[in-house]
């Protein structure tokens, strides 16, 4: 959610109320008995009407089926907006998405939405639609299950359908709760489903039904009708004049951390089809702020160039954002053309400032390419919204510092946003998950987090790195505002820093440095203690002398980072350094391992038949082959987790003071 919020902040700057021109309404011939209601529940973006529902609605309307789109998410947002002060947070802020999960939702948010949601239930029940479809995301699964179960009590003959991103990662769970689950591209499958209901050929004895497109199918993006936004009150949204569109589907890359790249094969939409659609929606709804939701809008550099030239030729007054890859072919001339077509900025998957890590992610770019895009974007006026991965399995402390260094070097170029999750997560549809040993990982998790085989990366050390990232973001100074996920308590409770000279800012080159300074011959402990030193040295090189204190407690981490970055790690780390480089590191840190901390990584032996998982497995090339581990190996992995829970407790307590001197000249290798 955070990366989407970053792009949409840019469109918010040009948001304005709009008036619908009904003369451009497309007529439909409704000649079928079957009808379908599309429902989207919170939490999802409140800024733009949902493109997926508008697209599917237009497809079914063209086929003669009546549809109704019900965006309960934006209605809920309008209700809760007035209670932000009372709640103490904005439930639609990406940093607080965990509030929609578990008992927290029922305790904190549902009381405000109870009456509204019950009224929506009555509206649907009264209409008695033959089919009700839900868009399911990880942020709204809980509410989707609740509403579906409530509707089923009163509409026993209605067919309940689940679609959306969660059908890739949570299909088995959804099949236990829905009559039909559509996995993958729904444009053809939804017609097939409604035709079978209309023709009375759908056999309800076969429930639950999984509808999946053939693995080699590529839907032609040029043949779809114009999305139907007539069911949406456009002015309910934060960006009334905004719309979502797509220029392609899939991705040309196979990044090892990514799930989206395995959902479907890449294909490009023709630029003329796209410009025609944008022009029509501009005339009908006054939509002139466009968000392209493609995995990457610049998958074809050539087609994007022709799109830009056509927009300029037609004098179509739009402004747009999109996700994109860094690409050295997007030189200064290309950036100027992007700007002329209305491009406000790109959300780049930058990921890391270290070339080795970029190679292991399979980004097929270098930090030199990235830096040139940042510089040329600044000259042309194209913003860089950047996404970063914190604690990728092969990322060492020095690699993380390279990321900080790259951002620092380019803080005054085109970078306007820094986006990162609390830590690295890997789903079943990723190459990392399908072959953990390739990336140095165990085939087990530790307190729900990935852990390296040599124990040098684990939840405690990842927690320190995650807090170092937030520290860096708060302390980053530039000639403009650079946005990042604010954690309100972080600068007040998690850390304090006092510089010898707050006005000191130094230019930096990349360096290779050995951060294995604290050494107790316990890699799990040492990596946790040493993690802060990378950021400490970066701060000294860029800002001079200072005194820093970072505080830890499970409650503190849970409050600001959520359960995924909240080990029972408590204490404080104090680091003080002179301008010259003499330093003292005062360590008082304790970690307590939770019961049953070790769990087998089920992705290794639970072999889903989803096309996206199969594709990820094919690219991962695990040593046990694409057919999966043997039953014997599976039991070995499970037994090993049980053994480690009995015998391997990594709890520690460290109280120590160490000193050093960084003023000595070292042969640090410049990587630029």
User: What domains does the chain contain, in order, with CATH numbers?
Assistant: 1-15+241-388 (3.20.20.70), 17-212 (3.40.50.280), 438-672 (no CATH)
Q: What is the mean pLDDT of the chain?
A: 91
The answer, yes or no, to whether residue 405 has pLDDT greater than 90, is yes
Mean pLDDT score, 510-516: 97
At 605, is the pLDDT very low, low, confident or very high (cuts 50, 70, 90)?
low
At 672, is the pLDDT very low, low, confident or very high (cuts 50, 70, 90)?
very low
Tokens encoding 184: 């993958």
Alpha-carbon distances of 526 from 397, 467, 517, 574, 598, rounded to whole Å: 12, 17, 8, 16, 20
> Which one has a higher pLDDT value, 352 or 666?
352
At 671, is the pLDDT very low, low, confident or very high (cuts 50, 70, 90)?
very low
Please, which residues bridge with residue 549 across strands? 496, 574
Phi and psi (nearest 5°) for 658? -125, 155
How far apart CA 414 and CA 295 sit, in angstroms, is 21
- Looking at mean pLDDT, say which of 1-10, 253-262, 593-602, 629-638 comes out highest: 593-602
Phi and psi (nearest 5°) for 664? -65, 130
pTM for this predicted structure = 0.84
Which residues lie below 8 Å from residue 206, measured CB to CB, with a gap of 6+?
Answer: none
Alpha-carbon distances of 476 from 480, 484, 504, 510, 607, rounded to whole Å: 11, 11, 12, 17, 44
At 591, is the pLDDT very low, low, confident or very high (cuts 50, 70, 90)?
very high
Tokens encoding 476: 């980053």
At 509, is the pLDDT very low, low, confident or very high (cuts 50, 70, 90)?
very high
Residue 669 is predicted with a pLDDT of: 39
Among 607, 601, 564, smallest CA distance to 425 is for 564
How far apart CA 565 and CA 563 sit, in angstroms, is 5
The answer, yes or no, to whether residue 606 has pLDDT greater than 90, is no
DSSP per residue over 493-514, as a string?
Answer: IIEEEEES-TT-----------
- Tell me the percentage of the chain whose pLDDT exceeds 90: 74
How far apart CA 338 and CA 336 sit, in angstroms, is 5
pLDDT digits (tens, 9 = 90+) for 185-218: 899 999 999 999 999 999 988 999 999 877 777 7
Residue 666 is predicted with a pLDDT of: 46
SS3 387: strand
How far apart CA 551 and CA 187 sit, in angstroms, is 51
The answer, yes or no, to whether residue 584 has pLDDT greater than 90, is yes
Alpha-carbon distances of 70 from 32, 114, 123, 439, rounded to whole Å: 21, 17, 10, 44
At 16, is the pLDDT very low, low, confident or very high (cuts 50, 70, 90)?
confident
Residue 266 is predicted with a pLDDT of: 82
SS3 116: helix
**Mean pLDDT lowest for which of 83-97, 464-478, 546-560?**
83-97
| DSSP H stretches of helix in 199-331 | 271-285, 301-314
> Which one has a higher pLDDT value, 220 or 161?
161
Neighbours of 507 (CB within 10 A): 8
Residue 668 is predicted with a pLDDT of: 43
- Which stretch of DSSP H or E encloses residue 469? helix 459-475
């Amino acid at each position: 959610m955070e990366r989407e919020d970053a792009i949409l902040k840019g469109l918010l700057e040009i948001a304005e109320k709009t008036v619908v021109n009904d003369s451009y309404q497309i007529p439909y011939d409704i000649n079928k008995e079957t009808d379908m209601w599309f429902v989207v529940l919170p939490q999802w973006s409140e800024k733009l009407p949902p493109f997926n529902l508008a697209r599917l609605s237009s497809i079914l309307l063209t086929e003669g089926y009546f549809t109704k789109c019900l965006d309960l998410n934006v209605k809920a947002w309008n209700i809760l907006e007035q209670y932000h002060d009372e709640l103490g947070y904005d439930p639609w802020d990406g940093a607080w998405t965990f509030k929609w999960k578990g008992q927290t939702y029922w305790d904190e948010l549902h009381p405000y939405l109870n009456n509204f949601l019950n009224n929506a239930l009555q509206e649907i029940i009264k209409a008695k639609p033959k089919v009700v479809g839900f868009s399911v995301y990880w942020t709204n699964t809980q509410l989707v299950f609740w509403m579906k179960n409530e509707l089923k009590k009163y509409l026993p003959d209605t067919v309940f359908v689940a679609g959306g991103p969660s059908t890739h990662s949570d299909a088995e769970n959804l099949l236990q709760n829905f009559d039909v689950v559509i996995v993958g591209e729904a444009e053809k499958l939804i017609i097939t489903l409604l035709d079978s209901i209309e023709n009375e050929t759908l056999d309800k004895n076969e429930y639950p039904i999984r509808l999946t497109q053939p693995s080699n199918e590529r839907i032609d993006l040029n043949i779809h009708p114009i999305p139907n936004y007539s069911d949406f009150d456009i002015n309910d949204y934060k960006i009334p004049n905004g719309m979502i569109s797509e220029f392609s589907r899939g991705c040309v890359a196979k990044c090892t951390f990514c799930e989206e790249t395995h959902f479907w094969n890449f294909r490009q939409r023709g630029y003329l089809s796209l410009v025609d659609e944008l022009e029509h929606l501009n005339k009908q709804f006054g939509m002139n702020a466009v968000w392209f939701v493609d995995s990457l809008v610049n998958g074809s550099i050539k087609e994007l160039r022709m799109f830009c030239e056509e927009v300029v030729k037609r004098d179509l007054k739009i402004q747009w954002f999109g996700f994109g890859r860094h690409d050295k072919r997007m030189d200064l001339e290309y950036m100027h053309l992007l700007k002329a077509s209305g491009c406000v900025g790109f959300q780049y998957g930058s990921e890391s400032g270290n070339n080795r890590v970029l190679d292991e992610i399979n980004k097929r770019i270098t930090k030199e390419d990235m830096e040139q895009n940042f510089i040329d974007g600044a000259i042309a006026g194209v913003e860089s919204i950047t996404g970063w991965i914190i604690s990728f399995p092969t990322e060492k402390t020095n690699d993380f510092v390279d990321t900080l260094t790259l951002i620092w070097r380019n803080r005054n170029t085109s970078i306007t946003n820094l986006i990162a999750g609390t830590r690295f997560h890997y789903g079943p549809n990723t190459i990392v998950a399908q072959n953990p040993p390739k990336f140095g990982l165990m085939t087990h998790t530790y307190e729900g987090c990935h852990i390296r085989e040599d124990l040098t990366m684990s939840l405690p050390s990842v927690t320190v790195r995650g807090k170092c990232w937030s520290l860096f973001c708060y302390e980053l100074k530039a000639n403009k505002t650079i946005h990042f996920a604010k954690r309100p308590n972080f600068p007040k409770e998690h850390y304090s820093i006092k510089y010898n000279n707050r006005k000191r800012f130094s230019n930096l080159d990349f360096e290779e440095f050995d951060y294995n300074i604290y050494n107790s011959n316990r890699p799990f402990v040492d990596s946790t203690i040493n993690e802060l030193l990378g950021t400490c040295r970066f701060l000294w090189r860029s800002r001079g002398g200072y005194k820093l204190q970072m505080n830890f407690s499970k409650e503190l981490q849970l409050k600001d980072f959520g359960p995924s970055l909240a080990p029972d790690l408590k204490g404080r780390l104090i680091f003080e350094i002179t301008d010259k480089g003499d330093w003292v590191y005062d360590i008082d840190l304790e970690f307590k391992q939770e019961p049953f901390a070790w769990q087998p990584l089920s992705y290794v032996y639970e072999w889903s038949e989803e096309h996206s998982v199969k594709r990820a497995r094919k690219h991962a090339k695990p040593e046990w082959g694409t057919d999966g581990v043997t039953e014997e190996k599976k039991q070995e992995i499970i037994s090993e987790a049980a053994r480690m829970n009995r015998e391997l407790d990594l709890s520690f307590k460290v109280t120590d003071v160490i000193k050093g001197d960084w003023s000595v000249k070292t042969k640090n290798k410049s990587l630029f």
